[in-house]
Amino acid sequence: EDKVVQSPLSLVVHEGDTVTLNCSYEVTNFRSLLWYKQEKKAPTFLFMLTSSGIEKKSGRLSSILDKKELFSILNITATQTGDSAIYLCAVETRSGGSNYKLTFGKGTLLTVNP
Amino acid sequence: EAGVVQSPRYKIIEKKQPVAFWCNPISGHNTLYWYRQNLGQGPELLIRYENEEAVDDSQLPKDRFSAERLKGVDSTLKIQPAELGDSAVYLCASSFGWWETQYFGPGTRLLVL
């Protein structure tokens, strides 16, 4: 059974702090790892990672994948109150042919206080 | 067990034309998702159904996109009229429940000329 585990489950910080969110996985036929930000409704796609050691960066957010140790981290620097959300990690695996599935972690609830 | 079925697999149309995609989820899956995936990016959710009810369509561009799942089983996604920027892969997925493991169909690759 494929597993995706995120930690911590919740985190409270002050504006300006730097946070690191973790995602570890145990899956068969890994294809990619995805990070999403979920505020009120549908999650917003942040990053897709397929190769180890290559950092993806978007503004104050960055992420990196370690396929040997089977984890990824999402960093947010200089946090703002608008960063408050649930951050979801999902792992895409291939299940044969052109079919694949997406297994989600339970998410990390980040609260940034002013 | 049959997986998620989508058709057509490929579609090429001219801009301003309508297009429709069809999806049949895994039997017993109440939750159905439509995603759009642009090249080099992850899937972005367009709409999520719980049975026949669209419970999350906040990212569906409602001026030109519509979807339905009338009997709570298969679903159609329509674009009318299509624009050049709609070229992408449209993925359907299903799961037993919200944010449980989602199983994806092969997708429909749309090219708008």
Burial of B18 (0-12, 13-18, 19+ CB in 10 A): exposed
DSSP characters over B62-79? TTTEEEE-TTSS-EEEEE
The alpha-carbon gap from B19 to the nearest alpha carbon of chain A, in Å, equals 23
Nearest residue on chain B to A98, alpha-carbon basis: B106
**B24-81 confidence digits (pLDDT tens):** 999 999 999 999 988 767 788 899 999 999 988 878 898 999 999 988 899 999 999 9
Q: What is the pLDDT of residues A73-106, one digit of tens each?
A: 999 999 999 999 999 999 988 766 556 778 888 8
Cα separation, B103 vs B96, in Å, equals 10
Nearest-CA distance A34 → chain B (Å): 7
Which segments of chain A are extended strands (E)?
3-7, 10-14, 19-26, 30-38, 44-49, 56-58, 61-66, 71-76, 85-94, 100-104, 108-113
CATH at B71: 2.60.40.10
> Is B78 in contact with B18 (CB distance < 8 Å)?
yes
Report the C-alpha gap between A53 and B105 in whole angstroms.
Answer: 30
Angle at alpha carbon of residue A108, lines to A102 and A112, rounded to 5°: 140
The neighbour count for residue B3, using CB atoms within 10 Å, is 20
Q: Do B101 and A44 touch (CB under 8 A)?
A: no
CA-wise closest residue to B93 among B39, B6, B51, B34: B34
> Contact B106/A45, CB-based, under 8 Å?
no
The domain of A72 spans 3-113
Q: What is the CATH number of the domain that holds A78?
A: 2.60.40.10
What is the count of structural domains for chain A? 1
pLDDT at A34: 92
Whether the predicted pLDDT of B100 surpasses 80? no
Give the per-residue pLDDT at B98: 67
* Residue A112 near residue A81, CB atoms below 8 Å: yes
Q: What is the mean pLDDT of residues A36-40?
A: 82
User: How many structural domains compose chain B?
Assistant: 1
Burial of B105 per CB tally in 10 Å (0-12, 13-18, 19+): buried
Contacts with A97 from chain B: Cβ below 8 Å: 106
Distance CA B10, CA A94 (A): 20
CB pairs under 8 A between A and B: 53
Sheet holding A19-26, edge to edge: A3-7, A19-26, A71-76, A61-66, A56-58
Interface of A with B in 54-83 (CB under 8 A): none
Q: Which residues pair with A58 in a beta bridge?
A: A61
pLDDT score at B88: 95
- Structural domain harbouring B69: 5-112
Cβ atoms within 10 A of the Cβ of B107, count?
Answer: 24
Give yes or no for B106 touching A (CB within 8 A).
Answer: yes
Residue of A nearest to B59 (CA): A42
Chain B window 66-85: which residues touch A at a Cβ cutoff of 8 Å? Answer: none
